[in-house]
Amino acid sequence: MALEPIAERAGIAIEWIDIDEDPALEARYNELVPVLTLDGVELCHYRLDAAAVEAALAAGRS
- For the chain, domains (ranges, CATH) are 3-61 (3.40.30.10)
Nearest 5°: CA angle at 48, between 44 and 50? 95
Checking if the pLDDT of 12 tops 80, the result is yes
Q: What is the pLDDT of residue 24?
A: 96
Checking if the pLDDT of 32 tops 90, the result is yes
Q: How far is it, in rounded angstroms, from Cα 24 to Cα 55?
A: 28
Yes or no: say if 17 and 62 are a contact pair by the CB < 8 Å rule. Answer: no
User: Which pTM was predicted?
Assistant: 0.80
